[in-house]
């Protein structure tokens, strides 16, 4: 029989996060600090609005780009929060989570052989989606000493004649790094000089812990027409299971994305779209409350790392910390596996997010303070044991 599979698909590595959690599911007393998902339920008034839409019988397709009412609310929200001006009729598309938006943006913009610059460590889907879109991924390995920000120099060095698109994943999963205005201005200059486009994945934009808050690269002069902004409801509004995200950008690109979306997806879930309208209209205080709660856990986590003596740059975004474990002389995979086996704490090895994650762990603090306390206690014990082993050698 002929091989039924596509070589390109077979060659893709499965997500390093998933691989790890298949092990965890079989361990009842394990504590996980691994999942990249809010521990909050979706605020009740948002769920209630979803239920209400079902009761009303709103169970049909929406237009391909999504409900006009929702697109309008998204434009208001982006304008209010990040000073971004989009036309709801032609510059917004509602997608099945931010993930779909990443996929269709790449497919709409890339021709075979175009190079897409992907800074890593970063979310696991950029590279495979780029490959599936026939792009040649070019990886920039972000550095701990830069607090895992992307510098203009690093970007400049990665650009070739074939470069078309730069993926900008900030606030960053897995490092928690953010980009401040000056950082973005420097990047924008390089982008404009080389006539490139940006895919800015801002799914964690609501979760920043410095005073200035999140800044979108699209708000830098000259960048709105070169940027696809991707955002969604999963992280900020604790709506992961609703599968709802969106992309905003130049009409030209959104039009082509809508075409792919139309054939592959039809439209994002209708119930979720109605719930999302409520989230944008009346969800500000819920988001603020959750953000404050994450911030308290973040401080607690950083305090404990400091106490244990695990070096970790201070993350100002998302809900992850990225401590360095190089002192123990083992790989991230090995460390994470032993930590799971010996102390029953699950974290994700940094290498799941790219080779430059070697020597680091992703620790999510989207867990209750009680779970964090217990897990950090176990990590402390483990670290002490490793240090003792090392001294006895």
Partner 1 sequence: MREKILQIIEKNSRVGVDEIAIRLGEDEIAVANEIKAMEDEGIICGYHTLIDWEKTNIETVSALIEVTVTPQRGQGFDKVAERIYNYPEVNAVYLISGGYDLLINLEGKTLKEVAKFVSDKLSTMDSVLSTATHFVLKKYKDHGTIIQPADDREKIMP
Q: Which of 304, 326, 314 is nearest to 386 (CA)?
A: 326
Q: For residues 211-230, which are near partner 1 according to CB under 8 A?
A: none
Closest to partner 1 by CB, 92 or 302: 302
**Burial class (CB within 10 angstroms; exposed 0-12, middle 13-18, buried 19+) of 256:** middle
**Shortest distance in whole angstroms from residue 122 CB to partner 1:** 16
CA distance 105 to 28: 40
Identify each DSSP E strand in 159-316 by its residue range.
163-168, 197-201, 227-232, 245-248
* CB nearer to partner 1: pick between 225 and 292: 292
Shortest CB 37 distance to partner 1, Å: 6
CB of residue 296 to partner 1, shortest distance in Å: 4
> Can you tell me which residue has the tokens 């972000």?
142
Please tell me the distance from the alpha carbon of residue 12 to that of residue 129, in angstroms, as a whole number: 10
The single residue among 6, 25, 63, 160 that binds partner 1, judged by CB under 8 A, is 25
d(CA 294, CA 305): 16
Rule CB under 8 A: is residue 210 a binding residue for partner 1?
no
Closer residue to partner 1 (CB): 241 or 309: 241
Please pick, from the candidates 113, 222, 241, 309, the single residue that binds partner 1 as defined by CB under 8 A: 241
d(CA 359, CA 349): 8
Least separation in angstroms between CB 285 and partner 1: 13
Take residue 359 and report the two structure tokens written for it.
């020597």
Measured in degrees and rounded to the nearest 5, phi and psi for residue 194 equal -100, 5
Q: Say whether residue 287 binds partner 1 (CB under 8 A).
A: no
Residues 34-63 that bind partner 1 (CB under 8 A): 35-37
Whose Cβ is closer to partner 1: residue 17's or residue 198's?
Answer: 17
| Contact between residue 84 and residue 219 where contact means Cβ atoms under 8 Å apart | yes
Size of the site for partner 1 (CB under 8 A): 17
- Scan residues 290-319 and list those touching partner 1 (CB under 8 A): 292, 296-297, 299-300, 303
Please, what is the minimum distance in Å from the beta carbon of residue 186 to partner 1? 29
Beta bridge partners of 230: 201, 247
Residues that bind partner 1 (CB under 8 A): 17-18, 21, 24-25, 35-37, 240-241, 292, 296-297, 299-300, 303, 369
């Amino acid at each position: 029989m002929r091989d039924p599979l596509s070589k390109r698909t077979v060659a893709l590595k499965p997500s390093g996060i998933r691989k790890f959690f298949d092990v965890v599911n079989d361990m009842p007393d394990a504590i996980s600090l691994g999942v990249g998902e809010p521990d909050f339920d979706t605020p009740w008034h948002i769920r209630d609005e979803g239920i209400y839409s079902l009761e009303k019988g709103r169970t049909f397709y929406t237009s391909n780009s999504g409900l006009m009412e929702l697109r309008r609310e998204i434009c208001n929200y982006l304008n209010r929060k990040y000073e971004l001006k989009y036309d709801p009729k032609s510059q917004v598309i509602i997608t099945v989570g931010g993930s779909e938006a990443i996929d269709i943006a790449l497919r709409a913009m890339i021709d075979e052989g175009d190079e897409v610059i992907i800074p890593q460590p970063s979310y696991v889907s950029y590279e495979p989606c780029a490959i599936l879109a026939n792009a040649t991924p070019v990886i920039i390995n972000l550095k701990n000493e830069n607090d895992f920000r992307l510098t203009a120099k690093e970007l400049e060095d990665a650009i070739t004649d074939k470069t078309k698109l730069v993926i900008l994943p900030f606030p960053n999963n897995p490092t928690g790094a953010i980009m401040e205005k000056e950082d973005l201005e420097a990047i924008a200059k390089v982008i404009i000089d080389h006539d490139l486009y940006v895919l800015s994945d801002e799914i964690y934009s609501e979760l920043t812990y410095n005073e200035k808050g999140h800044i979108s690269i699209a708000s830098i002069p000259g960048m709105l027409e070169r940027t696809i902004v991707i955002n969604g409801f999963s992280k900020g509004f604790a709506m992961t299971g609703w599968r709802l995200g969106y992309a905003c950008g130049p009409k030209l690109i959104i039009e082509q994305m809508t075409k792919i979306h139309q054939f592959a997806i039809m439209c994002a879930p209708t119930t979720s779209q109605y719930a999302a309208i409520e989230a944008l209209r009346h969800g500000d205080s819920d988001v603020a409350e959750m953000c404050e709660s994450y911030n308290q856990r973040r401080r607690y986590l950083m305090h404990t790392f400091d106490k244990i003596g695990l070096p970790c740059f201070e993350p100002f975004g998302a809900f992850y910390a990225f401590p360095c474990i190089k002192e123990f002389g083992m790989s991230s995979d090995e460390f994470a596996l032993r930590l799971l086996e010996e102390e029953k704490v699950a974290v994700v090895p940094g290498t799941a997010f790219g080779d430059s994650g070697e020597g680091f762990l992703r620790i999510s603090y989207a867990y209750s303070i009680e779970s964090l306390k217990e897990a950090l206690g176990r990590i402390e014990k483990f670290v002490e044991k490793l240090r003792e082993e090392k001294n006895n050698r």
